[in-house]
Amino acid sequence: MTVHFHEEDLPEGVLEGTSALAVDTETMGLITHRDRLCVVQISDGSGDEHLVRFNPGSEYDAPNLCALLADQSRVKLYHYARFDLAAIQYYLGVMAGPVFCTKIGSKLVRTYTDRHGLKNLATELINADISKHQQSSDWGGPVLSDAQRDYAASDVRYLHALRDELTVRLEREGRMEMAQSCFDFLPTRALLDIAGWDGRDIFSHNEGYYK
């Protein structure tokens, strides 16, 4: 298991193949327009993780990474895909689907709990311990610490195994088709967030749209 670190783009030929890609992002905060994209993590489940760091003032010209993210023949695995899809689309100009979101899968099938964080899922479903100590650290600094790199890599390290376990449970409970419909809608949900409907439920009867 190796964590590979890259600046501004992946090297050509990295992660070629047909397998699903686990993807995550680190940003300066939670507001996409304000808080720039700092790191994209990506793994094909073979045991290595690749981190692509973008520097302040980056032009986000990453053709190799973008080609992988845009490849519609390869499913992208996320935990809370809605946020990552919006960040990738806004900064890299790519809608990185098709999607499997472990957070949505968890909410649809683990209805016996309200704990759907990645750490909770990894502990229960695959007996893996993920440290979240670096979750709120400064991802825009000139150097990423070893702890930051390991944390970023761990966010994609287990997504393939979690996808597999959640798929078994979703199919067992007859909710896989519903889950897939939710996954298919996520790119549109991300575009709505970018366009300004991030805090509004457009399906609600009562909520107004005048502000």
The structural domains of the chain, with segments of one domain joined by +, span 3-196
Q: Which CATH number fits domain 3-196: 3.40.50.2300, 1.10.10.10, 3.30.540.10, 3.30.420.10?
A: 3.30.420.10
Residue 63 is predicted with a pLDDT of 98
Strands (E), 28-132: 37-43, 49-53, 76-78, 99-101
Contact criterion met (CB below 8 Å) for 95 and 89 = yes
Statement: residue 107 has pLDDT above 90: yes
Q: Give the span between the Cα atoms of 149 and 166, in whole angstroms.
A: 27
Mean pLDDT of the chain: 94
The residue among 64, 70, 66, 71 whose CA lies nearest residue 13 is 64
Statement: residue 151 has pLDDT above 90: yes
Statement: residue 211 has pLDDT above 60: no
Q: Give the span between the Cα atoms of 28 and 141, in whole angstroms.
A: 10
Indicate if the alpha-carbon torsion angle 20, 42, 104, 132 is positive or negative.
Answer: positive
Residue bearing tokens 């990423």: 144
Question: Using only C-alpha atoms, what is the Rg of the chain?
Answer: 17
pLDDT tens, 21-47?
999 999 999 999 999 999 999 999 999
The percent of residues in the chain predicted with pLDDT above 70, rounded, is: 95
- How large is the average pLDDT for residues 73-82? 98
Residue 130 is predicted with a pLDDT of 84
Neighbours of 32 (CB within 10 A): 20
Residue 133 is predicted with a pLDDT of 60
Statement: residue 105 has pLDDT above 80: yes
Strand duo 76-78 + 99-101: pairing: parallel
pLDDT tens, 157-168?
999 999 999 999
